[in-house]
Amino acid sequence: MEVIITASRLAHDLTADRPPVLLDVRWQLSTPGAKAFDGRAAYAAGHLPGAVFVDLDEELASAPGERGRHPLPELAEFGAAMRRAGVSAGRPVVVYDGGQGWAAARAWWLLRWTGHPDVRVLDGGLSAWEGPLSTDVPEPDEGDFEPVPRPTGLLDAAGAAALARSGVLLDARAGERYRGDVEPIDRVGGHIPGAVSAPTNENVGPDGRFLPADELKARFAALGVPDAAQVGVYCGSGVSAAHQALALAVAGIPAELYVGSWSEWSADPSRPVAVGPDPQ
């Protein structure tokens, strides 16, 4: 199953009799005190023709709390949001964002985990698109997608801790947050004991597109992934970690996602915290 799509391939697919559903999921991480990014305004200023805006904070997550800053959305609400966007089980979906790929990957992961058979992310995001943009807001026909979670692929805090001992748990955040040098958002810096630092930005080239599959395989091999029975990923709140899961999928490696991630883990003072470059 292909998990990413080039802009040229997407342009071709959009001319088909049954083109893919397009979802625009522009979003950026906001630090406390900074002005929040307005994805809906960016969408209104110009988007791929036919694309429907999906709000990550409101439709791909539930309210922040004990389960982290971007906990899983309620299934009924997520399904309703996807159907409003025109998502149906029998029609391909292509998701894109402004180019970073994190938000698009979150939508990709959620749709795949809840049973959609054909979801791809536009490699390089909006900046890779060479065609015209539109300011028209489409009104798609109601879709029929009904989310049914898979029994595997999702980690909770206990599962992430166990996987860090029995397999490979990758931390997708920047190295300085992993080490605990800085922590601009969560209660405390550091990482889950046993987790391996694997910053998401190393999955892509200077143009924001994913490295070739063989290069990604080599990257993850250097992190010890081929020797692991299981691979898990986490980040700050389950967004950039979805991008890590997508990169692993490009390399042909299945991975489980700890959605609560560091925002959930670090909120409980009883959970252990490791600092420095060493996993332990």
**DSSP state letter for 197:** E
Sign of CA dihedral 157, 235, 155, 216: negative
- Dump strand ranges (E) for 141-220: 154-155, 168-171, 196-197
Query: Is 186 part of the annotated catalytic residue set?
Result: no
The CB density around residue 83, as the number of other CB atoms within 10 Å, is 18
Give the closest residue to 56 by CA, choosing from 35, 73, 31.
73
Q: Which residue is catalytic, options 21, 105, 235, 239?
A: 235
- Write out the two tokens for 28: 């950026």
Element of type H or E holding 248: helix 240-250
Instruction: Please identify which residue in the block is written with the tokens 């026909």.
Output: 141
CA distance 47 to 98: 10
**C-beta of residue 134 within 8 angstroms of C-beta of residue 48:** yes
Residue 204, strand partner residues = 210
Q: Which residues are catalytic?
A: 235
